[in-house]
Each structure stands twice: as structure tokens, then as C-alpha cells.
Structure 1
Amino acid sequence: MKKYLAGAAFIALLSGCGTNSTVVSVGDKEGILNSEGKVLVKPTYKRVSKFKTVENNEYKYPHYLNFHWLHLSGEKYAVVKNIDNKYGIIDEEGNLKLKVVYDSIGQFINGFAKIEVDKKYGLINENFEVVLKPIYDDVRTPLNGTIIVKNYTKDSKSKYGCLNKNMEEVSSLDYDMIFLSSEDRMRIKKDNLWGFMDNECNVVVSPQYKFEKDYSNGLAKVQKTDGLYTYIDLDGKEIVGKTFNQGLDF
């Protein structure tokens, strides 16, 4: 340890007393130290960051006292940043798990984390494999096996598409908006008209309505182009042969 402490202005124990591992700094470089005084990762990185995992929008800390670590499948990993402001992932022995080449690495949510290279985004899985190359202007948080991606047109308009769990582009990026909705349906907008898509990116109701609400109890309220309202089921069929000036959700 002495060779790492010599000449250091201070050591920053960022996670408090009693932890198994913590982040330390020597000069302007950070590494990882365990509670027995062993240097697990030499202070060679500009920053070692905490990493949270998220499942279905709930933050989880499998071992709270080690919250500087990324915990996956019982192993421990950390996000590191080098002097070129690039990010990667290492294990507690300092072995590189993900190359330090990314401009940012997001949190793991439902098994995937967002990565950024030159303002383009992709995804890695929990094995630190790049499953979606950084080719999109944005990638939304994967939910229910569905991944929404966005690109900008030459006139800076946003266009959205849909990928399935195999990272296949099922829906081309020609929608003005795709909203993650309810009851295995997503609201889609194209040319100021609304429709629905299922969680496998299949269009079940083509964009044809001026307005629509999320599904509730298997039914969605929609407004036709004539301004009147009706209700459709999950397959897009109108459940009544009438239209109304207004109506509440089921």
C-alpha cells in the first residue's frame, strides 16, 4: 500500500466505514481498495463510478454497502473512466470486461445498459456484449422485450422505430412518436394521426384517429377524424356501432 500512498494528498473513502470495497484516489487517479487493505484496482483511472441496476423501474442494491460496484449474477464490477473521458467496465480484480472506449454507459435496466459513442447510442447485455451497435440518435429503456429507437432527419425532426428482443428492426423509423402504453399496446403517431402497436412491434391499429387514450380494461377511447368518439378493443375493432360527442374511460 505504501507505494500508492506516497505523495498522495488524501485518500477519499467514498462509501463510508465498514464496507468490503471502496474507491480511493491517489493524486487525480482513482482505484479500488478492500477492507483488508488490499489494492484490488490500482489508481490508474480518472474516475471509478458507482453503478446501479434497475429492473422494471425499481432500483436494486443486492449489497447496499458495496454500492460503488455493479452487481450482476453474484459478481462485482465497476465503471471506470480514463484520462480521455472514455468509460468501460472492470471486475474487482481489475480485468477489463468492457473496453474503455465509450462516451457514457447507462444503468442496467431489464438486462440492458445504454452505451454512447460519438452521440450515437446502442446497448450491451449483462454479459457486457454489444447487442446493439451505437447507430441511433437515442435508444429508450427496454421494457417488455421492446426497444424504441430514434433518429433525427436532416431537418432535425425526430423519427421513431421499434426493435424486438433480438434487436431486429421490425418497424422502420418513420413514426413521429411511439409511447410505451398499457396492456401490451403502444401508442403510435404518424402524420398527426394515432394508432396502436403491440409489444412485438406489429401494428394492430393503423394511425387513423385524431386522438386516443391508453387501453383500460381492454378498451381504448379514440376520436375519429369527424370529431366524434368511440371505443376499440385490443384488435382495433369498435365495440359499439355508435359514436359519441364525449365519453369516459372504462
Structure 2
Amino acid sequence: MSKKIFVFIFYIFIFSGCFYSSNYTIFQDNKTGKYGIKDKNIVVLKPSYNYISQIDSLENKEYFIFEKENRYGIVDINGKILLPDIFNEIKEFYNGVAVVKEKDKFGFINKNLQLIQKPIFLEARDFIFDISFVKSSANNKFACIDKNMNLLSDFIYDEVFSFDEDYARVKKDNKWGIINKTCKEVITSEYDYISEFIDDVFTLIKNNHTIFKNKSEL
């Protein structure tokens, strides 16, 4: 008996196109292929979207990213458009800020769904801690910005790598350095290579000379 119940539930999950998020059910209409939302089997958003997904990273769990004709926006559970579908991409929120893409440029919106930076950058990273990395279309280099969209550095970095706890490796003029979470260089960009942290130890190479340092020395 239990096996039959399991198979039945599995069948519904796979073939109805339904999946669950918080208290709402995102469902797919079998005729149109469009997505909508139900609340306890009551349709609260008609299936008119090519894609819809709940924004779990915001306090308000009734906000949804939707897509129509390859354009993304944000709608609430009552169907009110909170952010028009003018973007080619809306990423997940980190620290109250999300990256948006319009055509081939990137910008940012805040947790109030306000556009705080028009899409002007060639690349924009998620806000880890209170800073992000953005790439300029003028010189193809990265800079640090804060959540108020203030520059914390010039556009001087050829590459920036993901934060490993409080620190990130950077490359400037083909030389490696390390910055902290306020974008201050704690290891100047003068090394031929700097490794990732392994058990809090990293390797610096300069002129074929290798140095081992502990993260506590930064």
C-alpha cells in the first residue's frame, strides 16, 4: 500500500509540473505550459508566466521573479508588478542586494526592489560582506564598490577571486595580492602567484622564491 502511495505522489510531482515553495504551490498549466501560483489549491496568480520563482532570500516571502518573453521582473502574490519585466536576468539577493542584467550590462537592485545602480558594468558580482566587484566597460578592469554604490577602489584589477572568509585574491598588472572585506590590500599586488588558503596557510611566489604565510599574519 505504501509503495502505491509513493508512486502516486511521485507521478503527480513529475507529470503535473508542480513544485512547492513556502506556503504556496507554483504550478504549470498543462494546456498552455505557463506557470502560476496556488494557495491551498486556490489559484492566486493565473498561469501566465514562462517562469516564476519565489525569492527566498528576502524577508517578504510573497515576492516572485517572473519571466515573460525572455524578460524578467518581480511580482507579488496579488499580481502587482513590483519591478517591470525589463531585465534579461535577476539574480538571487545577497546581503539585501541583487545583480540585474539589461542587455549586456549589469547593475543592482536593493531589497526594496529599487534600482540603485543602472546596468552599466560589463560584470557585477554578488555582495559578499558589504562589498562587490564590478568591471568597467572603459578599461575592462575591476573595482570594489559598497552597497551605497560608492567606489572603494579605482578600476585597477585584472581579476578578482571569491572571498575565502575575510579575504580575496586579486590580480593587478599580472601581479597577485590579497584584499580584505573593506577592499584594503593587506598583501600588495607584487607577487607572481598567491595560492588559496589551505588550513589557513597560503603560498606566495615572487621571482621563483616561495614564501608560506598563515592567515593570522594578515
| TM bracket, shorter-chain basis | 0.7 to 0.9
Measured in 2, the distance between the counterparts of 1:229 and 1:22 equals: 55
Q: Is the aligned partner of 1:42 residue 2:28?
A: no
Q: Is the 8 A contact 2:55 2:63 kept in 1?
A: no
Q: Is the aligned partner of 1:77 residue 2:63?
A: yes
The SS at the match of 1:170 is: coil
Distance verdict in 2 for CA 1:233–1:102, change over 3 Å: same
Q: Is the aligned partner of 1:117 residue 2:122?
A: no
The SS at the match of 1:49 is: strand
- Ranges in structure 1 where 5+ consecutive residues have no aligned partner: 1-10, 55-71, 238-250
Aligned CA-pair RMSD:
3.1
Number of aligned positions between the proteins? 201
- Ranges in structure 2 where 5+ consecutive residues have no aligned partner: 1-14
Q: Is the aligned partner of 1:228 residue 2:209?
A: yes
Q: Is the 8 A contact 1:187 1:197 kept in 2?
A: yes
The SS at the match of 1:142 is: coil
Q: After superposition, what is the alpha-carbon deviation per residue over 1:130-173, rounded to whole angstroms, capped at 9, x for unaligned?
A: 2332111111122122201124567xxx5222112322121222
Q: What letter corresponds to residue 211 of structure 2 in structure 1? A: T
Larger of the two Rg values belongs to structure:
1
Q: After superposition, what is the alpha-carbon deviation per residue over 1:54-108, rounded to whole angstroms, capped at 9, x for unaligned?
A: 6xxxxxxxxxxxxxxxxx32431222222x4211111111111111111111222
Distance verdict in 2 for CA 1:103–1:182, change over 3 Å: closer
Q: After superposition, what is the alpha-carbon deviation per residue over 1:184-234, rounded to whole angstroms, capped at 9, x for unaligned?
A: 222111222111222111223321111223456776432223x22234577
Q: Is the 8 A contact 1:183 1:216 kept in 2?
A: no
The SS at the match of 1:113 is: strand
Question: Which residue is equivalent to 2:193?
Answer: 211
Q: Is the 8 A contact 2:195 2:203 kept in 1?
A: yes
Output the TM-score relative to the length of structure 1. 0.67
Q: Is the aligned partner of 1:135 residue 2:120?
A: yes
Question: Which residue is equivalent to 2:25?
Answer: 21
Q: What letter corresponds to residue 184 of structure 2 in structure 1? A: N
Q: Percent identity?
A: 27
Distance verdict in 2 for CA 1:73–1:183, change over 3 Å: closer
Q: Is the 8 A contact 1:162 1:201 kept in 2?
A: yes
Counterpart of 2:36 (choices 8, 26, 31) is 31
The SS at the match of 1:169 is: coil
Distance verdict in 2 for CA 1:179–1:85, change over 3 Å: closer
Tell me which protein shows more helix as a share of its residues: 2
The SS at the match of 1:175 is: coil
Q: What letter corresponds to residue 121 of structure 1 in structure 2? A: F
Q: Is the 8 A contact 2:54 2:62 kept in 1?
A: no
Q: Is the 8 A contact 2:55 2:64 kept in 1?
A: no
Distance verdict in 2 for CA 1:36–1:14, change over 3 Å: closer
Q: Is the 8 A contact 1:204 1:235 kept in 2?
A: no
Measured in 1, the distance between the counterparts of 2:116 and 2:177 equals: 29
Question: Which residue is equivalent to 2:152?
Answer: 170
